[in-house]
Amino acid sequence: MKNNIRCTERRYMNHAYKIGCITIVDNDLNLIQTMDEYLRNNNLCTALVRTREEALTRYNNDEVIIVNMDLVRHNGFELLRTLRDRGDVPIIVVGSRRDEYDAVTWLNSGADEYLTTPLSMARLLAHINALSRRRVRFTAGMRSRAQGARWLFAGWELRLKSRKLYDPSGRVVPLTAAEYSLLVTFVESAERALSREYLQRATRVHGEILDRSIDVQILRLRRKLEGDAQAPRLIKTVRGVGYSFTMPAARA
């Protein structure tokens, strides 16, 4: 099937944005044709691919990727992790299993949404639009943060334009790209409990990909911020929820 690539312009929060191509990874002809027809009727461009190799080749051109994991289950996690390691393109996983364990497993492995079959096309479109709006919202936020602002907390200073962190003595503490994104997420939501899933999503749209275990990145950041990473004062574990940045943070 040929695809006439085009972008649909929409508006959100006074920002004009374009929804790029929706890549569908599936070899169920009936389902793929149904999705293709519905999305095109709603002025979205689609690209239909049948193999893992095609999906990886198209990756940089995607707005959203839809993957039917029932048909690639034997290597589905490998495909999902490979796609996620390459960048922050939203991924919707489609599957027939309705149990919570299956959904949680896919989401923890890098999927942004998990939808079950039989698939509601209207709901699929709503999720695509929501994911696109989310990217616009965080992109706009990143632009505003990049205009020389800084965050102050517990004697520390995080400069957003230079992406540098200064400890209370004025010494620069080097941060990896992932650690920087994680710290920005924390100071923006200081004194609030944040779930692991939220931290994974938020840091992804900041433009970085974290280790598959958010806990590993938390530990690394604690080692740089805390005198004793095993008895943290700044980033505390909230049992049953995730983590909280306990100190007030002020933007200057």
Domain final position from 125, 143, 161? 143
Name the region of 240 (left: φ>0; alpha: ψ -120 to 50; beta: rest): left
Nearest-angstrom CA–CA distance, 100 and 93: 14
Question: Is-cis flag, bond preceding 248, omega within 30?
Answer: no
d(CA 247, CA 183): 12
Asked if 97 and 165 sit in the same domain, the reply is no
Residues 30, 139, single domain; the answer is yes
pLDDT band at 235 (very low <50, low <70, confident <90, very high): very high
Mean pLDDT (the chain, rounded) = 80
Domain end among 113, 143, 173:
143
| Confidence at residue 11, expressed as pLDDT on a 0 to 100 scale | 45
| Rg (the chain; Cα; Å) | 20
pLDDT for the residue 85: 73
Asked whether residue 1 is domain-assigned, the answer is no
Q: Which of 143, 128, 131 shows the shortest CA–CA distance to 201?
A: 131
- Structural domain contains residue 72: yes
21 pairs with which residues across the strands? Answer: 62
User: What are the distances in angstroms from CA 26 to CA 12, 155, 182?
Assistant: 30, 52, 34
Residues 135 and 23 in one domain: yes
User: Confidence band (pLDDT; 50, 70, 90) for 222?
Assistant: very high
pLDDT digits (tens, 9 = 90+) for 33-61: 999 999 999 988 898 888 778 888 776 65
Q: What is the pLDDT of residues 142-163, one digit of tens each?
A: 555 555 588 999 999 999 888 8
**Which domain covers residue 165, as residue numbers?**
147-251
Q: How many domains does the chain have?
A: 2
Encode pLDDT of 13-35 as tens digits: 444 445 678 889 887 888 889 99
Question: Are 42 and 93 part of one and the same domain?
Answer: yes
3 torsion bin: left (phi>0), alpha (psi -120 to 50), beta (else): beta
133 and 153 share one domain: no
Domain identity same for 153 and 111: no
User: Are 162 and 135 contained in the same domain?
Assistant: no
Question: Looking at the domain assignment, is residue 189 inside a domain?
Answer: yes
* pLDDT, greater one: 201 or 249: 249
The pTM assigned to this predicted structure is: 0.54
Find the CATH number of the domain harbouring 201: 1.10.10.10
Nearest to 50, CA basis, from 30, 72, 35, 17? 72
Q: Among residues of the chain, what percentage have pLDDT more than 90? A: 27
Q: Are residues 72 and 167 in the same domain?
A: no
Query: Domain boundary residue among 143, 165, 183?
Result: 143
SS3 161: coil
Same domain, 175 and 54: no
Q: Where does the pLDDT of residue 241 fall: very low under 50, low under 70, confident under 90, or very high at 90 and above? A: confident
Name residue, tokens 């039989």: 118
Hey, which of 88-92, 103-107, 234-238 has the most confident mean pLDDT? Answer: 234-238
How far is it, in rounded angstroms, from Cα 98 to Cα 87?
Answer: 28
Domain shared by 108 and 153, yes or no: no
